[in-house]
């Protein structure tokens, strides 16, 4: 058992270089103990003596599955329902009233984590759009969070800013063995699909979107990666569509074709 395995600087830089290459994610040296902590259980699982041995293991061609496990462990997936509520208010007040009747209104949550963001969007659309058809696509690089997202099943503590009225309308409260949890109602879940997308690679053809949410993921990218990611996303945004990033992020120096219309909300001309 690797009781005293420690991650040395050379090993850390191997993980750092790989994560940057694979996902565009920057790990500062301050993240060394976090990386060691998150990967330790995998060393234990394989009874490996060092992080270097684990790195070798994930780099062998036959271990694509373990490579994904390492990627899942090294991504930060924090999220909650109706995070940054101003964005949802903006949709309700300024975007959804202009949705073309009869045309499918499409939103992409491009780093959806475990689904709280796409389901918050789905509830917002269900409330506002009446008979206008709509769909939400959630994507992430982590297969683990996507599996969680597809279940639509959450612990009550995850409620975040989810208003009671929406909880009552769109969620089923668990009883018996499921007490303390809630499930997003099937009719809503059916309109939200999840797919693995690495924003650091060429994107699959997902069609065009009216709105793209790209929140709390660019904080992990360096300026060059940020520009590339935004440039990859823009062709998938309709003319007049909105790109919404986090209030703690900025597109300064990243893209000058988009017009800032409200804090952290950009519009494609
Ligand atoms: C902090 S969460 C943000 C979730 C949600 N957008 C929010 O604002 O609450 C960041 C997510 O970005 C994902 N991510 C990181 N790098 C990525 C990449 N290259 N491609 C796609 N997703 C990525 C992570 O797996 C993680 O689930």
79 CA to centre of ligand 1 in angstroms: 9
80 CA to centre of ligand 1 in angstroms: 13
Catalytically annotated residue among 72, 140, 210, 215: 140
Q: How confident is the model at residue 63 (pLDDT cuts 50, 70, 90)?
A: confident
Q: What is the mean pLDDT of residues 169-195?
A: 97
Residue 3 has pLDDT above 80, yes or no: no
- What pLDDT does 62 receive? 81
| Statement: 85-267 belongs to CATH 3.40.50.150 | yes
pTM of the model: 0.96
Domain ranges of the chain: 9-74, 85-267
- The residue among 55, 51, 62 whose CA lies nearest residue 18 is 55
Which of 141, 194, 249 for a ligand 1 pocket mutation test, highest count of atoms within 8 Å of Cβ?
A: 141
157 CA to centre of ligand 1 in angstroms: 21
259-262 β-sheet, strand order: 192-196, 134-140, 105-109, 209-214, 237-245, 265-267, 259-262
Which of 111, 143, 244 for a ligand 1 pocket mutation test, highest count of atoms within 8 Å of Cβ?
A: 111
Residue 13 has pLDDT above 80, yes or no: yes
81 CA to centre of ligand 1 in angstroms: 15
Residue pLDDT, tens place only, 129-146: 989 999 999 999 999 999
Atom number of ligand 1 nearest to Cα 79: 9
Two domains, one topology: 9-74 and 85-267 = no
Q: 3-class SS at 127? A: helix
Residue pLDDT, tens place only, 67-87: 999 999 999 999 999 999 999
Q: 3-class SS at 65? A: helix
- The residue among 206, 217, 207 whose CA lies nearest residue 141 is 217
140 is catalytic: yes
Residue pLDDT, tens place only, 89-130: 999 999 999 999 989 999 999 999 999 999 999 999 999 998
Q: What is the mean pLDDT of residues 143-172?
A: 95
Ligand 1: residues with CB < 6 A are: 23-25, 75-79, 83, 111, 113, 117, 140-142, 145, 197-200, 215-217, 220
Q: Which residue has the tokens 């690089």?
A: 141
| Statement: 9-74 belongs to CATH 1.10.155.10 | yes
C-beta neighbour count of 221 within 10 angstroms: 22
Q: What is the mean pLDDT of residues 236-264?
A: 96
Which of 21, 31, 38, 75 for a ligand 1 pocket mutation test, highest count of atoms within 8 Å of Cβ?
A: 75
Atom number of ligand 1 nearest to Cα 114: 27
77 CA to centre of ligand 1 in angstroms: 6
- What pLDDT does 4 receive? 60
38 is catalytic: yes
- What pLDDT does 172 receive? 97
């Amino acid at each position: 058992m690797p009781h005293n395995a420690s991650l040395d600087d050379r090993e850390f830089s191997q993980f750092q270089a790989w994560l940057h290459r694979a996902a565009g994610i920057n790990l500062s040296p301050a993240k060394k103990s976090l990386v060691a902590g998150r990967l330790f259980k995998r060393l234990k699982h394989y009874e490996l003596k060092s992080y270097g041995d684990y790195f070798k293991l994930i780099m062998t061609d036959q271990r694509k599955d373990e490579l994904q496990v390492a990627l899942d462990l090294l991504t930060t997936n924090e999220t909650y329902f109706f995070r940054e509520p101003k964005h949802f208010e903006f949709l309700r007040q300024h975007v959804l009233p202009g949705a073309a009747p009869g045309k499918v209104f499409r939103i992409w949550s491009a780093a959806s984590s475990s689904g709280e963001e796409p389901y918050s969007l789905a509830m917002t659309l269900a409330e506002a759009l009446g008979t206008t058809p709509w769909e939400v696509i959630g994507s992430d690089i982590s297969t683990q969070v996507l599996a969680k997202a597809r279940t639509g099943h959450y612990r009550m503590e995850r409620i975040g800013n989810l208003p009671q009225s929406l909880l009552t309308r769109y969620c089923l409260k668990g009883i018996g063995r499921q007490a303390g949890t809630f499930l997003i109602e099937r009719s809503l879940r059916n309109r939200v699909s999840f797919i693995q997308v690495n924003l650091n690679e060429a994107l699959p053809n997902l069609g065009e979107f009216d709105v793209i949410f790209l929140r709390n993921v660019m904080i992990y990218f360096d300026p060059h990666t940020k520009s590339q990611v935004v440039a990859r996303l823009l062709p998938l945004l309709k003319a007049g569509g909105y790109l919404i990033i986090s209030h703690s992020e900025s597109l300064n120096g990243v893209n000058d074709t988009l017009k800032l219309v409200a804090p952290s909300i950009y519009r494609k001309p």
